[in-house]
Structure 1
């Protein structure tokens, strides 16, 4: 019969046995001595034996403890040895880890990051893509680029862009040129964002009252797919000008009407305050601010 035991408790036991102290085991495991003691007590309860004799200043393995340690320690050593084979693949001091969203990476960052690498050949950039919130303080990430109101308590945030909502379409869809009034958009199929709010925001800011039933049409999870759908002639799409910048420059899409609407939020480069002072982080933020400024200049022309 197999006795159910906790793997963390077994690891704590082996570290206490190896160090000869709870405090030393806690330091190696990166936890508190109290947490180690709790794991040992849990293991003794699960096994029904006492594993250590505890004195005032020392802790020694009992006969049962010695037996268990002798069988467990080689196994954990094998695990440690196997993991150490990958030690050289861990981020080094000149690896810069940047987290951003799929849209920002695909529509803006990826086409420009090569210029940073040329300026700083000793810094290896690793881009991690996620829509989920990331704890910059807890995770090994140097810089985050996120869209929001700029309120990230305890973090150093620098605004990169102040995006505007624009209407884009395939050149083939607008064979007779740009539209004249915002209401003209209602004559075309409308492509929506995931929560179907961007068109409502754009129409409201443009002074258009929408009749019921006019906001039909497919929705897409991000600007990347909206731009792709618009470029194939599926309809008009409201996207952020920063997202559309490269696609507009390539001619895949065109601005459907000369009427843009400002957004309340923006894109920010975010870093833990202590990390913001590190040279590689400063270099990246200086570079991305310069690139953002150039993009903003082009968009305002």
Structure 2
């Protein structure tokens, strides 16, 4: 039988701990093992690989060239094993887990408040949700679906149009004052809150109005639309945001429409999913539920 050179998890843990701490005694304390157990794991690993991973210098362990070459891969392997274990833990007591990648603000402001309604249609199902601003690689990541903009279309995946993105201008009532609406010239005199990953939104808005975007008073910058909305609610400036994300603070009165004008961004919210998800009953139920929820927006 061919000899296996694959290290055991205990050997990898002992190696990484010794590389980080520099002694088998310290590594033993770190791992909750005896010093002799750590020493055996290191010896077994070196025998398995046929190289010295450490130099023993005055009761200290210093990585050899081979050890330095091995350290990064060993740490990455342990991290990936831990991620896989934590991911599987999401199945505890559940018959199905949907792994969802979603735009951060869409997830926080629109999707999560509605997820209990979805769960009521499929008892025993739960979800593992992660925020993603970039395109999802379904071959490298274990997501069952992504809800993102149309620019994030993934090669080899299915794409279901949900709704076009319409942008509106909102601000705190205290910032607008007694005026019902602000003109585009009025907007130019106010701090314009920036979404750092989409820096062209305000320039596009003023170009559509045939105004010079170089005249804009640039306000604070934020990573996500939910931060932009919070900043607008706090009166820090005027926000240009997707209408679907601003519905709740508009309904509650924390924000007001600052302009009657709207702008189509040319992008759309899209359900993106790999072929393998079609075999998941929970996915099919979620896709149909999501489509119905979106349809209610326009009802």
1:163 corresponds to? 165
Q: CA offset at residue 188 of structure 1?
A: 2.0
1:103 corresponds to? 105
Q: In structure 1, how many angstroms separate the alpha carbons of the residues matched to 2:147 and 2:280?
A: 17
Residues 175 and 265 of structure 1: is their aligned pair in 2 closer, same or farther, counting only changes over 3 Å? same
Q: Is the 8 A contact 1:182 1:259 kept in 2?
A: no
2:222 corresponds to? 220
Residues 177 and 111 of structure 1: is their aligned pair in 2 closer, same or farther, counting only changes over 3 Å? farther
1:190-236 per-position Cα deviation (integer Å, ceiling 9, x unaligned): 211115321111111222223x4533221111110111111111111
Q: CA offset at residue 130 of structure 1?
A: 3.3
1:39-70 per-position Cα deviation (integer Å, ceiling 9, x unaligned): x9x945437xxxxxxxxxxxxxxxxxxxxxxx
1:291 corresponds to? 293
2:23 corresponds to? none
Q: In structure 2, how many angstroms separate the alpha carbons of the residues matched to 1:231 and 1:133?
A: 30
SS in 2 for 1:140: coil
Q: In structure 2, how many angstroms separate the alpha carbons of the residues matched to 1:104 and 1:97?
A: 16
1:208 corresponds to? 211
Residues 119 and 44 of structure 1: is their aligned pair in 2 closer, same or farther, counting only changes over 3 Å? closer
Q: Is the 8 A contact 1:150 1:265 kept in 2?
A: no
Q: In structure 1, how many angstroms separate the alpha carbons of the residues matched to 2:112 and 2:254?
A: 18
Q: Is the 8 A contact 1:149 1:264 kept in 2?
A: no
1:138 corresponds to? 140
Q: Is the 8 A contact 1:147 1:266 kept in 2?
A: yes
Q: Is the 8 A contact 2:206 2:212 kept in 1?
A: yes
1:174 corresponds to? 176
1:120-152 per-position Cα deviation (integer Å, ceiling 9, x unaligned): 222112222233443223332212111233632
Q: In structure 1, how many angstroms separate the alpha carbons of the residues matched to 2:87 and 2:226?
A: 36
TM-score of the pair, normalised by structure 1: 0.67
Q: Is the 8 A contact 2:90 2:97 kept in 1?
A: no
1:89 corresponds to? 89
TM-score of the pair, normalised by structure 2: 0.67
SS in 2 for 1:117: helix
SS in 2 for 1:268: strand
Q: Is the 8 A contact 2:97 2:127 kept in 1?
A: yes
Structure 2, unmatched stretches of 5+, are 12-44, 53-81
Q: CA offset at residue 168 of structure 1?
A: 0.4
Name which of 7, 22, 25 aligns with 1:10: 7
Q: In structure 2, how many angstroms separate the alpha carbons of the residues matched to 1:8 and 1:107?
A: 49
Q: CA RMSD in A?
A: 3.2
Q: In structure 1, how many angstroms separate the alpha carbons of the residues matched to 2:196 and 2:140?
A: 30
Structure 1, unmatched stretches of 5+, are 1-6, 15-39, 48-81
Count of equivalent residues: 229
Q: In structure 1, how many angstroms separate the alpha carbons of the residues matched to 2:248 and 2:234?
A: 16
The structure with more radius of gyration: 1
Q: CA offset at residue 263 of structure 1?
A: 1.0
